[in-house]
Amino acid sequence: MQDVARLAGVSVSTVSYVLTGVRPVSDTTRQRVQAAMDTLGYQRNALARGLASRRSHILALLFPAIERGLSGTALEFVTSAAETARRHGYHLVLWPTGADDEAETRDLVRQRLVDGVVVMEVKLHDPRVVELQRGDTPFTLIGRTADPAGLPYADIDFDATVRDALDHLTGLGHRHIGLLSHSRGSLQAGYGPTVRVLAAFEREARQRGLLTAIRHCDETADAGRAAVAELFAERPDLTALVTLNDNATFGAVAQIVDGGRRIPGDVSVLSVVSSPQVGALSHPRLTTMAAPGARLGRLGVESLLARIEGPPAVAATGASTLHELIPCRLDVGATTGPAPTTS
């Protein structure tokens, strides 16, 4: 950095500001510093920076992608988190641990490889969270446990999301509504969205006097086909289907059409905790309850950085202990319409 400063005719601190972006530098000065770096072949070294500052400027995003895969909707959370980290001078690393892997989480925090951790795909009783609570590495959750008191989290308001979804369908006259959810394994493991959407769906349906049917299936299009074929064989009276399973939804839509039913003429389909981008991949275009992925990803990282960098960062970002619930937003596509009349 001293060599770069000497060649550019600036101070070492100015070179540091150009590299870190912590203070504004004029375009002319920035160009001179960059030209000197290019001439000298200077490369930033993340490890050296970490040794000097005692920080790695790396954040880990714990996501069990190996088990569940990275859907189009989940990708919005990850992309937003990564972009927010980048804007603040940090790198975000996807750390695909197992959902129940305490040992990997323990190794991650004990080796001081990262400055902080963002946890996704949170279970109601999540051993990764328990392990993080034992240590001193800052962390935040995108999702929440059964008892999130005292934990920093941002999550979807599943109660409001399901209520709004059923308001939309019952407003169109539907009274016989099915739910196609994640796998039964996800339910038994206590995966937050699976458990909370099911509970909200059953409660709202009971209060409204709806006739319902529920199926769980793996996160594949073929599994969605099979589950919906079975569902309509048993309940041909269903006129609407709520889905909580992006990949299975595509198979479900195909099976409904192949089975001779029209969408939305005979059956309306509404995908919750999804996104308009995912909905656009379907024909006809799906009506979705769009997950606030971009906002939750940003809030999770900003809250984490406030915990890492202390009170000044809190003041700069307006962040405090994060307790945020945000409902999904209805995006009306071409797969929901009035309930068909019955003879």
DSSP 8-state class, residue 341: P
What is the pLDDT at residue 46?
Answer: 56
- pLDDT tops 70 at residue 343: no
pLDDT in tens, 295-338: 999 999 999 999 998 754 443 444 457 899 999 999 999 999 99
β-sheet bridge partners, residue 288: 271, 331
Place of tokens 């793996």: 218
Place of tokens 């929901």: 336
pLDDT in tens, 202-214: 999 999 999 999 9
User: For 309, what's the count of Cα atoms within 13 Å in the CB-facing half-sphere?
Assistant: 20
- pLDDT tops 90 at residue 18: no
What is the pLDDT at residue 99?
Answer: 57
Tell me if 94 sits within 8 A of 282, measured CB to CB. Answer: no
All structural domains of the chain, each given as residue ranges with its CATH number in brackets, are 2-44 (1.10.260.40), 58-151+293-326 (3.40.50.2300), 158-291 (3.40.50.2300)
pLDDT band at 227 (very low <50, low <70, confident <90, very high): very high
pLDDT band at 124 (very low <50, low <70, confident <90, very high): very high
pLDDT in tens, 38-66: 999 887 665 555 555 566 789 999 988 65
Lowest mean pLDDT among 27-31, 155-159, 260-264, 286-290: 27-31
